[in-house]
Amino acid sequence: MAKVQIPSPLRQYTQKRATVSVSANNVGDALADLVTQHPDLKRHLYSEDGKLRAFVNVYVNDEDMRYLEKEATALGEGDTISIVPSIAGGSGYEL
């Protein structure tokens, strides 16, 4: 079992749960279990082509899954998956 930390903007789709337990051996299966438990999450995590939206960062403990094995990253008992939407912006102002 692993747990998924849900960021505040997505808790409206997990019955306000900040943490969801999932049963999976890798990140891909964990996210699949997550959206099975909470189907409304799917469109907020994935684009229509079935890929994770670019601004959705997924960390396994403290490591970005993109730099591990991506969705194939193995999970151990007690691992924490964190979903972290990007925080960015700026004035965009050019002199």
Partner 1 sequence: MLKISQSDYVSLGRHGEETYPHECCGVLLGRWEEDGTKAVTRVVRCGNTREDSAHNRYHIDPKELIRIQREGRERGEEIVGFYHSHPDHPAQWSQTDLAEAHWTGCSYVITSVAQGTARETNAFELTGTGEEDKKFVSEEMRIA
**Shortest distance, CB of residue 90 to partner 1, whole angstroms?**
4
For tokens 């890798």, name the residue.
26
Q: Which stretch binds partner 1 (CB under 8 A): 20-28, 31-39, 54-62, 68-76?
A: 54-62
Q: Going residue by residue from 12 to 51, which x/- string records binding to partner 1, judged by CB under 8 A?
A: x------------------------------xx-------
Residues 6+ away with beta carbon under 8 Å from 59: 65, 81, 82, 84
Which tokens belong to 53? 């939206």
CB of 45 closer than 8 Å to CB of 83: yes
φ, ψ of residue 26 in degrees (nearest 5) = -145, 170
Determine, following the binding rule CB under 8 A, whether residue 59 of this chain makes contact with partner 1: yes
Using CB under 8 A, list all residues that contact partner 1: 5, 7-9, 12, 43-44, 53, 55, 57, 59, 62, 64, 82, 84-94
